Amino acid sequence: MVTYRSILKKAFEEPLTREEALFLFKKINSYDRLMELLKVASKVRDNEVGRKVKLMGFIASITPCTVDPPCRYCFRWSNPKLFTWEDVLSDEELKAAMETVESKGLRRVELGGGTFLGEEGRKTTLRKAEIACKASRKVSVWINNGPSYKPEDVYELKKIGVEGIACNFETTSKSKYRRLRPGLNLKARMEIVEETEKADLGIDNTLMIGLGDWHTVKKPYREWVDFLFYFAKFSNLRIMEIHPFRPIRNSPVQKMPSGSEFETVKAIAIARLIYRSIDISGAQSILGLLAGANLIMHVYPITKSFRAWGKHPMYSSRVERVFGNIVVVDNFYEVTRNAREMGFEIEF
């Protein structure tokens, strides 16, 4: 007879199957069972990648967002300046930002931006990527600005020196995508991911727990499993980010409840048992570390001063000016504290 314990015992040595992952989502429904899952997931992380945590920097924005209408849960609703040209770093500012990332000792950085549709978006993305890669040969560059370029452009991005691409889905439900991201289509993102695999570039993606599930008690476990196994087929999957939905102020979904932290932790742990050795974000929190996470995103975030992305109210004095109107938030202490105090090695 198959039980959650028999699946967990097997998972010490072998990746979960689709059916086993779905079974665990359904059956891990209490404190005691969650602790059993976390024990296995954290042990698999230790065995596969070691008890160490990687860091990834963040620079934004490299492109504005021209999606109309905006996605229903986008940060654009909270501040009219976000993802406009006022938010975009100039070429000189981007170069200075990359030099700052390198000076902090980081080995990898994500360039974030809005989805800039059309030929201008394509040209801007390629130009910004080239500037970033030339500014530092020691820092691996990852691009995260949606379908601002064509699938075939991933080969040019690779030639420029880009390490990987994050063209985030958040969900693989076509109906949710149409309802919550009416200005975009999921197929365009899927085509970019599939071409990224062919180009032998790294793939990074995000699963958002609780997105669009506000009016139902039944959890969409099968949808989450479908998402995780859609990406399991890619040999170049390098990073999986899993986090709960958070309602954005002034957005059409601002009154909707946040995603479940319990289900998010389960999803991180189950992802570790599926993917084994890839980097999984969430290692800034104790729960993330217990669930098998090994990556902290958005370390030393660099943005225009009006957004100071990632600024913690207790650490506002640690905002440093980089160049012109851009700043870096020195959040290293707070985002790595849990991992350091728990004895993890920090890998810059």
Rg of the chain on CA atoms, in Å: 20
| Whole-number Å distance between alpha carbons of 118 and 8 | 47
Q: Is 8 a domain residue?
A: no
DSSP-based three-state secondary structure for 222: helix
Long-range contacts of 184-192 (CB under 8 A, 24+ apart): 184/67, 184/71, 184/115, 184/146, 184/147, 188/147, 189/146, 189/147, 191/151, 192/147, 192/149, 192/151, 192/154, 192/165, 192/167
DSSP-based three-state secondary structure for 33: helix
Sign of CA dihedral 34, 38, 44, 45: positive
Would you say 61 and 68 are in contact if contact means Cβ atoms under 8 Å apart? Answer: no
Over 70: is that where the pLDDT of 314 sits?
A: no
Around Cβ 211, how many Cβ atoms within 10 Å?
23
Q: Is 6 a domain residue?
A: no
Q: Is 7 a domain residue?
A: no
What's the DSSP call for residue 183?
T
CA 197 from centroid of its chain's CA atoms: 18
Q: Is 12 a domain residue?
A: no
Residue closest to 307 by CA, chosen among 284, 336, 324, 328: 328
Residue closest to 28 by CA, chosen among 296, 215, 260, 276: 260
Give the CATH number for residue 95. Answer: 3.20.20.70
| Whole-number Å distance between alpha carbons of 219 and 326 | 42
DSSP-based three-state secondary structure for 132: helix
| Whole-number Å distance between alpha carbons of 148 and 125 | 7
The reported pLDDT for the residue numbered 215 is: 74
Q: How far is CA 347 from CA 5, 144, 166, in A?
A: 33, 22, 21
Question: Position of tokens 């149409």?
Answer: 178
Q: Is 4 a domain residue?
A: no
Instruction: Show the domain range for 327.
Output: 17-347
For the chain, what percent of residues have pLDDT higher than 70?
Answer: 98
Residue type, 26: K
64-96 per-position pLDDT tens digit: 999 999 999 999 999 999 999 999 999 999 999
| Whole-number Å distance between alpha carbons of 344 and 346 | 6
Q: Is 317 a domain residue?
A: yes
| Whole-number Å distance between alpha carbons of 308 and 328 | 7
For the chain, what percent of residues have pLDDT higher than 90?
Answer: 93
Residue closest to 265 by CA, chosen among 254, 276, 280, 278: 280
Q: Retrieve residue 98's tokens.
A: 């990359």
Q: Retrieve residue 303's tokens.
A: 């943005």
Q: Is 219 a domain residue?
A: yes
| Whole-number Å distance between alpha carbons of 101 and 323 | 13
The reported pLDDT for the residue numbered 308 is: 79
Would you say 321 and 340 are in contact if contact means Cβ atoms under 8 Å apart? Answer: no
pTM to 2 decimal places: 0.96
319-323 and 326-329 strand pairing? antiparallel
Q: How far is CA 317 from CA 58, 103, 149, 308, 338, in A?
A: 19, 20, 38, 11, 21
Would you say 244 and 251 are in contact if contact means Cβ atoms under 8 Å apart? Answer: no
Would you say 107 and 136 are in contact if contact means Cβ atoms under 8 Å apart? Answer: no
The reported pLDDT for the residue numbered 201 is: 98
The reported pLDDT for the residue numbered 199 is: 98
Q: Is 175 a domain residue?
A: yes
- Count of domains observed in the chain: 1
The reported pLDDT for the residue numbered 318 is: 86
137-180 per-position pLDDT tens digit: 999 999 999 999 999 999 999 999 999 999 999 999 999 999 99
Report angle CA 255, 244, 48 to the nearest 5 degrees: 180
Average pLDDT score over residue span 283-304: 97
183-216 per-position pLDDT tens digit: 999 999 999 999 999 999 999 999 999 999 877 7
Q: How confident is the model at residue 107 (pLDDT cuts 50, 70, 90)?
A: very high
